[in-house]
Structure 1
Amino acid sequence: MRPLRTPLLLGMAGLALWAGTPAHADGASARGAQGQTLTVSAADGVSPGGATLTVTGRGYDVRKGIYVAFCRDNGPGKPPSPCGGGADTTGSGGGSHWVSSNPPPYGRGLATPYGPDGSFRVTIRISARPSGAMDCMKVRCVVATRADHTRSTDRTQDVRVPISFDDGGVPVALVAGGAAVAAVLAAGGVVTVRRSRATGRGSA
């Protein structure tokens, strides 16, 4: 049994190393039909429990107000909906933002105006299950821009960045207490461990 001692310790050390390694969420960008660019600070491997993302845009039509929100993706030509923050015209919820340089009178002081070149920068809070109508571990969810309520049928401002969440899955070999890892190492093999991630890209 002594020859297995070192591989077993290595297997258990590998388990501890894997469990203690935090998930790293990578950012992503997407381009709209009219040349807009939407960028999200984290898009792949986001914590299901929640995260605050920085969302930036450039090249948007400043004549058209938009919502920036985390939504279920319903496919091309259809507005992303429902959205985690709803149609938040007050900007107080944190789940969505209203960006407009020419809002109706009641929106002045509530909507964030565009910056130079149709740009904006906001933060939104997201999670894998923001509401009973959205389970982003099972359906495709996106950080999206869409025309605001003054142009609800206008799809020219639709831009989507898909979001995937880290499901925290543990490989079977490691769940087995490192025994399988030890066996592979004892035979001179190499164990490669990959964190399992839910893509959130099921049917919409």
Structure 2
Amino acid sequence: MARSRRFVRWILWALMGIAAVSLVLAAIVVIPIVTHTDAGPATPAPTASDPSTASSTGPDGRTRTLSVFEEDGVTPADLSAVKAGDRFVVKGSGFDSSYGVYVAVCEDPGDPLVKPSPCIGGIPEDATDGKDPDAPDTHEFLETTWISDNWAWRAFATRGYDNSEAGEFTAYLTIPASSTDLIDCTTTECAIVSRNDHTAANDRVQDLLVPIRFAS
């Protein structure tokens, strides 16, 4: 009987320990999201000479650049008449790698204080399908890409940053169908967009928009 009681106590202590560790891990993940302070919108820089690139300097002093290339990753993209299935390579630099970013085709709200949304490619979830997203030659072109180096989310993100210190990343983007129930990019201004992921969803500092137009 005494041995049985000791065994039950051991099980209870083990369960309490597991619960405590789970709570600590949950707090480590949730607290930074809840306590995040928004840096505010960035200030776009003129890019009329290169319509495939957007650049901005944020209140945090970082100058971010988002550039869209053809599938070869070298030729600046022609975004004047895109269609579903077109493939582009999107490169970012100057981003704050302590936060993840989504790269997708979204509505351009025309206001730097407003989140670019909705997005016709949706918001990426686990796009890795069990693959190592940083392994050589794994360049799967997706309708949305989630870039993150955060330890809690890295296993679910599509890719990590190419260079964390420089805030550089590469996204391989397939243009989705031009419309959903929420948006029609043939009649609404849309763009290839970078924006903070769900860990800082209301912070507009990493919003960059490269306008696109769908072929009629």
TM-score by length of 2: 0.59
**Is structure 2 residue 149 aligned with structure 1 residue 101?**
yes
- C-alpha change, 1:103 and 1:152, in structure 2 (3 Å) is farther
Give 1:124 shift: 1.4
What SS does the corresponding residue of 1:46 show, helix, strand or coil? Answer: coil
Are 1:70 and 2:105 an aligned pair? Answer: yes
Higher strand share: 1
Q: Where does the alignment leave 5 or more consecutive residues of structure 1 unmatched?
A: 1-25, 168-204
> What are the superposed Cα offsets for residues 23-69 of structure 1, whole Å, 9 maximum, x if unpaired?
xxx96100023310001123433333431111110110111111111
Deviation per CA, 1:102-150: give whole Å up to 9, x if none.
152xx23222221221111111121462422221111100000111001
Question: In the aligned structure 1, how far is the partner of 2:81 from the partner of 2:65?
Answer: 21
Q: Using a 3 Å threshold, how does the CA distance of structure 1 residues 77 and 47 change in structure 2: closer, same or farther?
A: same
Equivalent in 182, 193, 212 of residue 133 of structure 1: 182
Q: SS at the partner of 1:32?
A: strand
Please name the residue that 1:161 is paired with.
210
Asked whether 1:83 is paired with 2:129, we answer no
RMSD between superposed Cα atoms in Å: 2.1
Amino acid at match of 2:120: G
Matched to 2:161, the amino acid is Y
1:113 equivalenced with 2:141 (yes/no): no
- TM normalised by structure 1 equals 0.62
- Contact kept in structure 2, 1:43 and 1:161, CA below 8 Å: no
Cα gap change, 1:30 to 1:74, in 2 (>3 Å): same
Partners of 2:143 and 2:151 lie apart in 1 by 20
Amino acid at match of 1:109: A
Identity fraction in percent: 36
**Which ranges of structure 2 fall in alignment gaps of 5 or more residues?**
1-49, 70-76, 129-140
Moved over 6 A (4+): none
CA–CA separation in structure 1 for the residues paired with 2:84 and 2:154: 34
Output the CA distance in 2 between the equivalents of 1:28 and 1:91.
Answer: 26
